[in-house]
Structure 1
């Protein structure tokens, strides 16, 4: 149940684009065609799925205070958390380089269409944001980290795929001249963000504590009557004073 909730929340409620507006540069630049959007989205899914659990391992067994106890008791006081950004980015850059080599080898046309934005995944804030959110939310297990990385990638993929499909169709629409291009794209993105955020009520509803109603209905009725009498007495006193 925990895995399923994390999966759907990462896609719809905590979507990297619509909830946090991370990775907007690639989102806006590579969303003119569905084919290129699918390629970049698939690359982002792969990079997030690999880097988030790898960075979880780094965080658990290297970076946290006392994480190096597996090397020996003399390392129990070491705290390497100040290296988080450097090691996270190094892991991401390595995976992006691997993706770039694979795409160039097996799909030269996609590699050409993506252009500079494929290597720029290494500095895509959505990728680094996945690892940092994983760290700040204190995800406890490797499988949850894997789930979070994959589902966050799916959310980013759906976002860029949806806006690419809309932008392809909107070319044939009569958009006012001042809004053509990025203007109408930002408006559509905002409306889509509102739609995705509406899923929050479905996935988080019922988590809050319901107010307790102690006592029987008769006791509650007596309390209500006493409250009404108290209010009436206070009103009469005010009138008398006036």
Structure 2
């Protein structure tokens, strides 16, 4: 249940674009065509799915205070958390280089259409934000870290895919001159953010429904206990 809740929260409620406004530069620049948006979104999913678990391992076994205790008791007091940014960015840059090599090898047309934005994934704040949010939320296991990375990537993918599809259709619409371009794009992004945030009620409603059930069971138990007390009292009177 925890894995499913984290997965859907990272896609809809804690969406990188709509909730924290991370990765907006490439979100706005590469969302003019659906084909380009799909390629970049898939690259972001891959990079987040790899870097978040790798950075979780680095954080758990190298960077946190006392994380080096597996080397021996003399290393238990070491605190390398000041290296978090450097290590996370190094991991991200390595994975982005791998993605760039694979895309250039198997899809040169997509590589040319993405242009400078493919290597810029290394400095995309959404990618680094995934690792930092993983660290700040104290995700407990490697499986949850992988779950969060994939979910965050899918959320960013859905955001850029949706805005690209809308921008392709909006070219044929009569948009007021003052709002053409980024103006109408920001308005649509805000409306989409409201729609994504509305999923929050679907994931938190179950917890609120559990409380009345517990109260009902408590009332039933209290009634049963009062009935038992009355029966015992009547038995005592009969024996007397």
* Structure-2-length-normalised TM-score: 0.87
Could you tell me how far apart the structure 1 residues matched to 2:99 and 2:116 are? 13
User: 3-state SS of the aligned residue for 1:205?
Assistant: helix
Q: Which runs of 5+ in 2 are unaligned?
A: 221-240
1:44 alignment counterpart: 44
User: Which residues of 2 match residues 77-88 of structure 1 at below 5 A?
Assistant: 77-88=77-88
- Whose helix proportion is higher, 1 or 2? 2
1:151 alignment counterpart: 151
User: 3-state SS of the aligned residue for 2:18?
Assistant: coil
2:193 alignment counterpart: 193
1:107 alignment counterpart: 107
* Structure-1-length-normalised TM-score: 0.86
User: 3-state SS of the aligned residue for 2:16?
Assistant: coil
What CA deviation, in whole Å up to 9, does each residue of 1:83-128 have, x standing for no partner? 0000000000000011011111111111110011000000100000
When residues 71 and 112 of structure 1 are mapped into structure 2, their CA distance, relative to the original with a 3 A threshold, is same
User: 3-state SS of the aligned residue for 1:174?
Assistant: coil
The alignment yields a C-alpha RMSD, in angstroms, of 1.4
Cα shift at 1:205: 1.9
What CA deviation, in whole Å up to 9, does each residue of 1:157-202 have, x standing for no partner? 0000000000000000000111110000000000000000000111
User: Which residues of 2 match residues 64-79 of structure 1 at below 5 A?
Assistant: 64-79=64-79
User: Which residues of 2 match residues 1-242 of structure 1 at below 5 A?
Assistant: 1-208=1-208, 210=211
Q: Which runs of 5+ in 1 are unaligned?
A: 217-242
Could you tell me how far apart the structure 2 residues matched to 1:159 and 1:24 are? 10
